[in-house]
Amino acid sequence: MAASASGNVARTVLIVEDEPAVRALLTMVLQAESYHVETADDGQEALRQIQHQKPDAMILDLMLPKLDGRTVVKTLGQDAQAEHIPIITISAGQRFENVGEQGVKAFLSKPFDLDTLLVVLDEVLTQEPL
């Protein structure tokens, strides 16, 4: 597995995924790479959590109950306190064409390779904010 960019400081990643098995796998992999992981199982919960603690990055499923991932991206893009959060969108059935807009740094199609996810996460965490 790829090394995380976190060094000695644990970076916080918010995983927004409604499938419990996928959420658990991503949590386990990221924690093994020394990331601090927060999770949400729908878009509303993700936005609630972000109001209390801003993650260093977010892995966001596009197909979610209550609020879908596209709505979450749009909402965060309108929030000056949260618009800087780098977002990696993931989906099995949808494609996110607007990479580079409103904080979206990458799109991965499910199923994706975990090593690729770690490389992409490392890259978005080391990019300078716009």
What pLDDT score was predicted for residue 93?
74
Q: Give the predicted TM-score (pTM) of the model.
A: 0.88
pLDDT digits (tens, 9 = 90+) for 70-123: 999 999 989 988 989 999 999 887 666 665 667 889 999 888 999 999 999 999
Let me know if residue 17 belongs to a domain.
yes
Range of the domain at 64: 12-126
**pLDDT recorded at residue 3:** 45
Tell whether 5 is covered by a domain: no
Give the angle 92-24-110 at the CA atoms, nearest 5°: 15
How many domains is the chain built from? 1
Q: Domain of 92: which CATH number?
A: 3.40.50.2300
Asked whether residue 53 is assigned to any structural domain, the reply reads yes
Q: Given strand 87-91, what is the order of strands in its sheet?
A: 36-40, 12-16, 57-61, 87-91, 104-109
Taking only the tens place, the pLDDT of each residue in 38-74 is: 999 999 999 999 999 999 999 999 999 999 999 999 9
Closest CA to 52 of 14, 11, 104, 5: 14
